[in-house]
Amino acid sequence: MKKLFVFFIMLISFSSFAEDEIYTGIFSNKAVSGYDTVAYFTEGKPVKGSSKWQTEYKGADWYFSSQENLKKFKANPEAYAPQFGGYCAWAIAAKNDFASGDPKQWAIVDGKLYLNYDAEIKSRWDADRKGFIETAEKNWPKLIQK
């Protein structure tokens, strides 16, 4: 039984999901944990989306808090989707690796949405946003091809 459990854990390990372009977590297909990515830009805060207003984009399910926000996203998903697929922007840069992004640890920089793992990591990222973004942009294409 113990061997079966270890085998199961290996099957669902983070690395087996790390190649997905959009971070959705292990047991979900929700991008940004179901938060409305348009709301970061229009309301300046994280707002939970609803299955009432959802769409599929890059293999993930995206939820919105209104029909209007869904419409905006569908018209230009690249403008509203978080950078680096919603993975932690600091981890992509500093570790050249994947880590989950927390929708409550966010920033908009030059019109783009970035997520970070937690408040401590976000404070590290905030210390040199420009530098981390430049490094992450170099690391990201190679990471998603692995």
DSSP string, 71-124: HHHHH-HHHHSPGGGGSBHHIIIIISS--PPEEEEEEEETTEEEEESSHHHHHH
Same domain, 75 and 114: no
Asked if residue 1 is part of any domain, the answer here is no
Q: Is 44 helix (H, G, I), strand (E, B) or coil?
A: coil
Q: Is 146 helix (H, G, I), strand (E, B) or coil?
A: coil
Residue labelled with tokens 């299955």: 51
- Token digits for 38? 């348009």
Asked if residue 6 is part of any domain, the answer here is no
Interval 29-44: pLDDT, tens: 999 999 999 999 999 9
For the chain, the domain total comes to: 2
Q: Span 115-135, mean pLDDT? A: 98
What's residue 92's pLDDT? 97
Asked if residue 30 is part of any domain, the answer here is yes
- 1 confidence band (pLDDT: 50, 70, 90): low
What's residue 20's pLDDT? 86
Same domain, 68 and 91: no
Contact 78, 85 (CB under 8 A): no
Q: Span 13-23, mean pLDDT? A: 62
Query: What single-letter amino acid sits at 63?
Result: Y
Question: pTM of the predicted model, to two decimals?
Answer: 0.86
Interval 61-91: pLDDT, tens: 999 999 999 999 999 999 999 999 999 999 9
What's residue 11's pLDDT? 41
**Which residue segment(s) compose the domain that 125 sits in?**
82-146
